[in-house]
Amino acid sequence: MNRENDDAATAPIYAMPDDSPGFGLAERACYHLLSRRAEDVVILDLRGLSDVCDFFVLASGQADVQVKAMASAVRRGLSKVGQKPVGSEGEGQGRWVLLDFVDVVVHALKPEVREYYQLERLWSDARAFPVAEEHLASEGFRRRQPDLADTSPAPGDDQR
């Protein structure tokens, strides 16, 4: 076997959750999404698959106002740790809001929009890590996010 020509043999293997800064930022975004009752929150690991970013965070909200609130919570929460999006789309409409934090791109979508565009299917080679409130109570989360660890993402709590 010629390893120089075998990309699969040399491609790095990643596992989530991990201690990478990108995963930490994605995980923090999930915390803020869940603070606005986001549903079906998932982190897609695009490392080795995309040159655009390392992680997608996908989350569904039932109404335009909820999708906007989810995006606002992420924007506000990540800005408190010095992360501001380099770009955003859709914040006026609220059907699909995209926030680009370079290594992490957050997508807050209405379920019908998420179903139509099928980003999980489009990126089916990516490893997927579903994030629910139970994850936020895990020891790993508390270690990686000590400032968020003693709190739960209570809906409507603007202190986060």
The upper half-sphere exposure of residue 28, i.e. CA atoms within 13 Å in the direction of its Cβ, equals 26
Q: Which CATH superfamily includes the segment(s) 16-141?
A: Beta Polymerase, domain 2 (3.30.460.10)
Residue-range domain boundaries for the chain: 16-141
Whether the pLDDT of residue 1 is over 60: the answer is no
Q: Is the whole model's pTM more than 0.85, yes or no? A: yes
Closest CA to 130 of 90, 95, 138, 145: 138
The share of the chain scoring above pLDDT 90, in percent, equals 82
Write down the mean pLDDT value for the chain. 90
Residue 120 burial (10 A CB sphere; 0-12, 13-18, 19+): middle
Confidence of residue 151 (pLDDT cuts 50, 70, 90): confident
Q: Is 60 helix (H, G, I), strand (E, B) or coil?
A: strand
For residue 145, what are the contacts with CB-CB under 8 A and spacing of at least 6? Answer: 24, 27, 28, 31
